[in-house]
Structure 1
Amino acid sequence: MVREMTKTHEELLREAISVYLSSLKYLDNFVSEPANKYGLSFEQYLILHTIAEREHVSLMDIASERNVTRSAISRQIKVLLQHDYIYQKPAESDRRRLYLHLTKDGEQVERKVYSLTTARFDQWITRYGADKVREILDFIKDFSSNEMADFKDSQGDQQ
């Protein structure tokens, strides 16, 4: 059954498409820019940041915390290794478990990208105010939670 959209809903859809075309699709690039300066995606930087903050972290730890596959993180780790930003070292207790560590270059890049990212976020807070930023973040979390649940349900129905 196909329902016709009300005029208000049609206007909102047009406005949503306009916002997507003019803003949202560029948001990822805007957020990623500080990391891009060092040949990294924002996801790769976030892995670098996790390694910087924790003493013993493995590829599996990161995959588990982010609810993604080991291979997804492995691809990101490969880039960090190629840039010589990280290295892997076996755990003392279990030589099969590899812990991730920052190289000197990795430490410098992590600090620089962190500084650029936090400065950019501070500008947002100054421009929009902490309450508005919190409101936007809460909306995005609520939207994601509901829409991802609906998406997963619809994917299950198709199988």
Structure 2
Amino acid sequence: MNDKSKMLNDFLKYYSTVLRYMDDYISEPITEFHLTFDAFLIMHEIGTSPKPLLLMDIAASHHVSRSAISRQISILLKYDYVYQVANPADRRQKSLLLTKKGQEIDQQLIAAIQNVFDGWVKQLGHTRVESMLAFFSDFTKQVIQTPAHN
């Protein structure tokens, strides 16, 4: 087996194992509130934004279609985690804001996820976690945001 084949096999093995493990531990508290991880990320983004966000802002920041974000927003609306405010100048534009209930759940979930993350930092060490995050950042910038044209 050549180096490229071994790297691919290792990638497939770790991708499956590590990401499933991470997803299980991060998603566990989130599912208690009828949310997907994506819906939680959107809710958290709305709650931490310095200005009200529009659906198209969220779609752009997540690199997905407006209809994909709309499906997630509908879950947040259904459980009264967010509400919409129409722009008086253009009623089609609706800003998204967290309800009090949404703010409380966001804070609760962030605390639960912080506990899990702190455990990983304790087990792996600050430097290794920073290296992992730097890799994710590089991957986002170099592969996701500027995909290579083959």
Residues 105-155 of structure 1, C-alpha deviations (whole Å, 9 max, x = no match) = 2122111111111221122222222211111122233345555424xx24x
Give the 3 Å change call, closer, same or farther, for CA 14–101 of structure 1 in structure 2: closer
In structure 2, relative to structure 1, the CA distance for the partners of 1:21 and 1:56 (3 Å cut) is: closer
Structure 2 equivalent of residue 95 of structure 1: 91
**1:157 counterpart residue number:** none
* 1:21–1:77 Cα change, 3 Å: closer
Quick one: structure 1 residues 64 and 9, their matched pair in 2 at CA, closer, same or farther if it must change by over 3 Å?
closer
TM-score, with structure 1 as normaliser: 0.77
Secondary structure of 1:75's counterpart equals helix
Q: 1:21 to 1:91 in 2, by over 3 A?
A: closer
Larger Cα Rg: Structure 1 or Structure 2?
1
Tell me what 1:136 maps to.
132
**C-alpha separation between the residues in 2 aligned to 1:60 and 1:118?**
29
Cα 1:122–1:77, aligned 2, differ >3 Å: closer, same or farther? same
Q: Hey, what does 2:53 align to over in structure 1?
A: 57
Q: Which residue of 2 aligns with 1:41?
A: 36
* Percent of aligned pairs sharing the same letter: 35
Q: How far apart are the structure 2 equivalents of 1:10 and 1:63?
A: 36
What is the count of residue pairs matched by the alignment? 147
Q: Aligned partners of 2:139, 2:97: CA distance in 1, in Å? A: 35
Counterpart residue identity of residue 108, structure 2: K
**Unaligned segments of structure 2, at least 5 residues:** none
Stretches of structure 1 lacking an aligned partner (at least 5 in a row): 155-159
CA RMSD of aligned residues (A): 2.3
